[in-house]
Amino acid sequence: MIQSIIKRDGRVVLYDQNKIAAAILKALEAVQEGNAMDAARVANDVQRELEGKFLDNSPNIEAIQDAVERQLMNHGFSAAAKAYILYRANRTRAREANTKLMKTIDEITNIDARISDMKRDNANIDGNTAMGSMLQIGAAGAKAYNEMYLLRPEHAKAYREGDIHIHDFDFYSLTTTCCQTDITKLFKDGFSTGHGYLREPQSIQSYAALAAIAIQSNQNDQHGGQSIPNFDYGMAEGVAKTYRKAFGRRLRDALEDLLDTDLEQDALFALVARAEAVSGEKARLENTPAFDDAIIRELMAEYPINRANAEKLLKKVKERSFRKTDRDTKQAMEGFVHNLNTMHSRAGAQTPFSSINYGTDTSAEGRMVIKNILLALDAGLGHGETCIFPIHIFKVKEGVNYNETDPNYDLFRLSCKVSARRLFPNYTFLDAPYNLQYYVPGRPETEVSTMGCRTRVMGNVYDPTREISFSRGNLSFTSINLPRLAIESNGDEKVFFEKLLSMLELVAQQLLDRFEIQASKHVYNYPFLMGQGVWLDADKLSPNDTLRDVLKHGTLSIGFIGLAETLTALYGQHHGQSEEMQEKGKQILGFMRKFCDDKSKELKMNFTLLGTPAEGLSGRFIRMDQKRYGKLPGITDREYYTNSFHIPVWFPISAYDKIRLEAPYHALCNAGHISYVELDGDTAHNVEAFESIVRCMHDFGIGYGSINHPVDRDPICGYVGIIGDVCPRCGRREGEEIPFERAEELRRKYPNMPAFQGIN
Amino acid sequence: MTIKTTNEKMGQGVGFERIRRITGYLVGTMDKWNDAKRAEERDRVKHSLKKDA
């Protein structure tokens, strides 16, 4: 007689035959094979079987479930038996997922991020802080849920086993990736952050402060990088307002000095407004001959002042207003950079992942913005530290800043000088044919801009009249383990392309499944991104509307990693080693791009091909592939797969050849791409050499590129540059100390040295 | 910033910051990089400016 059973956790509880009958009935009902009577009969036989086996001992759960399976089969309920087996397998998986989840949370809670690779998966989150850990625990829970409940089994399997990687999987059911925020549009008439309403800004300082707040607000609505595509154009309006105000104030001061009397400020602002109305020109940094003339007339009419004095006064007022505006702009840009490196998002776990694009605004105000943001970047943070955020992107365009005779050429030169010291800006090239096709002079929204690691959005099959960069972004992306497909093809090209095609189909379906989740969200789920009309056409929706149509302006991207290893697995060499391989490489990515284009046409949605950033992914795929295939030379014998279409980082090649070979892939990867050139410190600091590389990128049709060189810093003496074993400024080795006296001596030479509490 | 001082000296145990570009953005110090990316950074070779290299 069975009296009790042993549960999974070891507890002994009373045996209850009704519970077994209920479980059997559920299986029968699921496949419509029997009724409660049948269930009771099967349960009776289960009990008989258990009594035969266990006599008076307690059976465990597994033994009971085995008996249920057998008795369902014995009674001829084969479909129900199958359903029951599947149910058991699912429960087992869920239990294992739970155990795994608990282990993961245990690691997040107890292990130092410096030891735990998992906690450094995203270098942007500090896994050692309370909020960083909370974020990682939330992510782990969301991932477990999403895999169990939201993915189709074939997608879950492909993801689990490393055929594909679903990026930002923790946010799978919650939001989209990124957006280019048009700040000009956002600032007009003010906006709400989702927590409070802000009036339209009236000075460059508030423009810059609100730009940082806009990025921060949107970072809470999306999981990817946040970007401003028109930083120079947008901020220029703030500069104009600051100048106009400064002009009115300086005019009053100068006039008061000249006439030795007190004047009403409002009267002078009114005088400026009249001159503007008469001349049709604003008080601006630009050359404004009609306005100047009108001001002189107004001054002579209102005050006892002759023409010569009025002219002299105006000249001085303009100079002083210019200086004041330049100073304010510089401070505003410094504040902006400081804000983006210190302000928190996501409950304090990280600073917003921010990008700003600029370089093409040739107005005097725009130029002042570009100059000062570059100078702020060059100056670094409080102790001279290199700014990590925002990512600066300088837009290069012939006729605007590329040639010596171009109006912003001086700023392009300045950008090279700054990048040679601070690693930013990166460069986008508007003259590359696939970017130039969208470019319309005078319409900044048609200038390609990038966000996050490299994302780019321009084409739009959903609405071909809106092929713009502004107010759009990526919805989601999933990457393919390209080297594995090649390894599995055993050198057979035909097999490889067949495998690739079916993998592309699988990923496209998975992206569409996710789109369904995203499309059913409401405007109220994204109070800033959608509620404030940051996203294209969101301003036409009401709070309770769903997002299906407007989201179609975004992109669904298919990414990849390891073109170099793929070619080596298929043909024995990569594209840095022979021109033939370069052709093969173009053929593979060309195939993937065509798939995306065809899918886009078929569904009227924007499928695009991405050279995946692959920060966490660089090690994930190859670790699994090493377990499967061992260390294959040139394929799986390192700790990482080569990024996107890059020539392997360890392969010796000239900068020129690297750029030449990688450029054609930029044209194919319309969702995003980047190429790097690695320079040693001395070459990088040579501005001519630096500029020659940027020009080489431009001329070969690179879309987005940057130059890497070592930037080290000694926090003790503040030296920024290349530090080998010994700091060139203070002479200490890593971890060594220097006497106070020595520090004082250095401070006399380098006044900007960091100050430490209690020492200086 | 507060640092440890001993016997009128400063800097003990303070390392150098090494900033590198990771996948398009910079990372404050390489302490936060994952193992694979650290390996990649270690393996990077410099590119010469010669055209016929």
Q: Is A710 on the interface with B (CB under 8 A)?
A: yes
Residue B27 covered by a domain: yes
Nearest by CB to B35, from A426, A619, A740: name it.
A619
Smallest CA–CA separation between B41 and chain A, in Å? Answer: 8
Distance CA A3, CA A16 (A): 9
Pair of tokens at residue A492: 């057979």
Task: Tell if the CB–CB gap between A716 and B11 is shorter than 8 Å.
Answer: yes
Q: What pLDDT, in 10s, does the model give residues B9-52?
A: 888 888 888 888 887 788 766 777 888 888 998 999 999 987 65
- Tell me if the bond preceding A483 is cis, omega within 30° of 0: no
Question: Are residues A687 and A417 in contact, defined by beta-carbon separation less than 8 angstroms?
Answer: yes
Task: Tell if the CB–CB gap between B26 and A616 is shorter than 8 Å.
Answer: no
- pLDDT for residue A760: 44
Whether the pLDDT of residue A758 is over 70: the answer is no
CA–CA distances in Å: residue A226 to residues A125, A194, A396: 16, 16, 21
Domain span holding position B19:
15-47
Residue B21 covered by a domain: yes
**What is the residue-wise DSSP string for A2-44?**
--EEE-TTS-EEE--HHHHHHHHHHHHHHTT---HHHHHHHHH
Q: What is the 3-state secondary structure (H, E, C) of A209-236?
A: HHHHHHHHHHHCCCCCCEEECCHHHHHH
Smallest CA–CA separation between B22 and chain A, in Å? Answer: 7
- pLDDT for residue B2: 64
Distance CA A625, CA A296 (A): 77
Residue B9 covered by a domain: no
Query: Does the pTM exceed 0.80?
Result: yes
Side chain identity, residue A383? H
Residue B32 covered by a domain: yes
Task: Tell if the CB–CB gap between A713 and B10 is shorter than 8 Å.
Answer: no
More confident call, A111 vs A276: A276
Largest CA-CA distance found in chain B, in angstroms, rounded: 56
Pair of tokens at residue A719: 């030296």
Task: Tell if the CB–CB gap between A650 and B45 is shorter than 8 Å.
Answer: yes
Task: Tell if the CB–CB gap between A654 and B11 is shorter than 8 Å.
Answer: no
Residue B2 covered by a domain: no
Task: Tell if the CB–CB gap between B21 and A654 is shorter than 8 Å.
Answer: no
Task: Tell if the CB–CB gap between A734 and B16 is shorter than 8 Å.
Answer: yes
Residue spans of alpha helices (H) in A408-492: 409-422, 433-436, 482-488
- Which range among A491-495, A675-679, A700-704, B2-6 shows the weakest confidence by mean pLDDT? B2-6
Distance CA A171, CA A182 (A): 24
**Closest Cα partner for A675 from A650, A701, A711?**
A701
Whether the pLDDT of residue A567 is over 70: the answer is yes
Task: Report residue A416's pLDDT band, with 50, 70 and 90 as the boundaries.
Answer: very high
- pLDDT for residue A90: 83
Distance CA A610, CA A626 (A): 25
Question: Are residues A570 and A486 in contact, defined by beta-carbon separation less than 8 angstroms?
Answer: yes
With CA atoms as reference, the chain A residue closest to B43 would be A650
More confident call, B1 vs A540: A540
Q: Which residues of B touch A714 (CB under 8 A)?
A: 16-17
Q: What is the separation, in whole angstroms, between the first and last Cα of chain B?
A: 47
Side chain identity, residue A275? A
Is the Cα dihedral A412, A418, A419, A423 positive or negative? negative
Could you tell me where the beta strands, DSSP code E, fall in A76-129? none
Nearest by CB to B48, from A391, A643, A654: name it.
A654
CA–CA distances in Å: residue A489 to residues A498, A569, A575: 9, 9, 19
Smallest CA–CA separation between A692 and chain B, in Å? Answer: 9
Task: Tell if the CB–CB gap between A388 and B53 is shorter than 8 Å.
Answer: no
Residue B52 covered by a domain: no
- pLDDT for residue B53: 41
Q: Which residues of A touch B27 (CB under 8 A)?
A: 123-124, 388
Q: What is the 3-state secondary structure (H, E, C) of A652-668?
A: CCEHHHHHHHHHHHHHH
Task: Tell if the CB–CB gap between A735 and B14 is shorter than 8 Å.
Answer: yes
Smallest CA–CA separation between B46 and chain A, in Å? Answer: 5
Q: What is the mean pLDDT of residues A618-643?
A: 96
- pLDDT for residue B51: 65
Q: What is the 3-state secondary structure (H, E, C) of A736-748?
A: CCEEHHHHHHHHH
With CA atoms as reference, the chain B residue closest to A341 would be B28
Residue B6 covered by a domain: no
Element (H, E) at A73: helix A61-74
Task: Report residue A303's pLDDT band, with 50, 70 and 90 as the boundaries.
Answer: very high
- Which range among A235-239, A320-324, A726-730 shows the weakest confidence by mean pLDDT? A726-730
Residues in chain A: 760
With CA atoms as reference, the chain B residue closest to A706 would be B24
- Environment class of residue A513 by beta-carbon count within 10 Å: exposed (0-12), middle (13-18) or buried (19+)? middle
Q: What is the mean pLDDT of residues A552-578?
A: 98
Q: Is A720 on the interface with B (CB under 8 A)?
A: no
Residues 373-412 of A with CB under 8 A from B: 383, 385-386, 388-389, 391
With CA atoms as reference, the chain B residue closest to A716 would be B11
Whether the pLDDT of residue A351 is over 90: the answer is no
Is A326 strand, coil or helix? helix
A-to-B residue pairs, Cβ atoms closer than 8 angstroms: 188
With CA atoms as reference, the chain B residue closest to A119 would be B34
Side-by-side strand order, sheet with A555-561:
A164-166, A474-481, A555-561, A606-611
Smallest CA–CA separation between B37 and chain A, in Å? Answer: 7
How many domains, chain B? 1
Q: What pLDDT, in 10s, does the model give residues A157-199?
A: 999 999 999 999 999 999 999 999 999 999 999 999 877 899 9
- pLDDT for residue A39: 94
Q: What pLDDT, in 10s, does the model give residues A145-157?
A: 998 889 998 999 9
Q: What is the mean pLDDT of residues A245-254?
A: 97
With CA atoms as reference, the chain A residue closest to B16 would be A714
Q: What is the mean pLDDT of residues A94-123?
A: 81
Q: Which residues of B touch A562 (CB under 8 A)?
A: none
Task: Tell if the CB–CB gap between A388 and B20 is shorter than 8 Å.
Answer: no
Q: What pLDDT, in 10s, does the model give residues A508-530?
A: 999 999 999 999 999 999 999 99
- pLDDT for residue A724: 86
Distance CA A192, CA A180 (A): 17
Q: Which residues of B touch A639 (CB under 8 A)?
A: 35-36, 39-40
- Tell me if the bond preceding A390 is cis, omega within 30° of 0: yes
Buried b (16+ CB within 10 A) or exposed e, A235-266: bbbbbbbbbbbbbbbbbbebbeebeeeebeee
Q: Report chain A's mean pLDDT, rounded to a whole number.
A: 93
Is A198 strand, coil or helix? strand
What domains can be seen in chain A, in order of their start residue?
4-88 (no CATH), 179-389 (3.20.70.20), 712-749 (no CATH)
Smallest CA–CA separation between A345 and chain B, in Å? Answer: 17
Distance CA A332, CA A339 (A): 10
**What are the phi and psi torsion angles at A29 (to 5°)?**
-65, -35
Q: Is A544 on the interface with B (CB under 8 A)?
A: no
- Which range among A118-127, A352-361, A600-609 shows the weakest confidence by mean pLDDT? A118-127
Question: Are residues A399 and A360 in contact, defined by beta-carbon separation less than 8 angstroms?
Answer: no
Residues 105-124 of A with CB under 8 A from B: 113-114, 117, 120-121, 123-124
Smallest CA–CA separation between B38 and chain A, in Å? Answer: 9
User: Which residues on neighbouring strands pair with residue A355, listed in sequence order?
Assistant: A227, A391
Question: Are residues A560 and A592 in contact, defined by beta-carbon separation less than 8 angstroms?
Answer: yes
Distance CA A673, CA A530 (A): 27
Residue B33 covered by a domain: yes
Strands A197-198 and A191-192: antiparallel
Q: What is the mean pLDDT of residues A558-587?
A: 98
Pair of tokens at residue A458: 């321009």
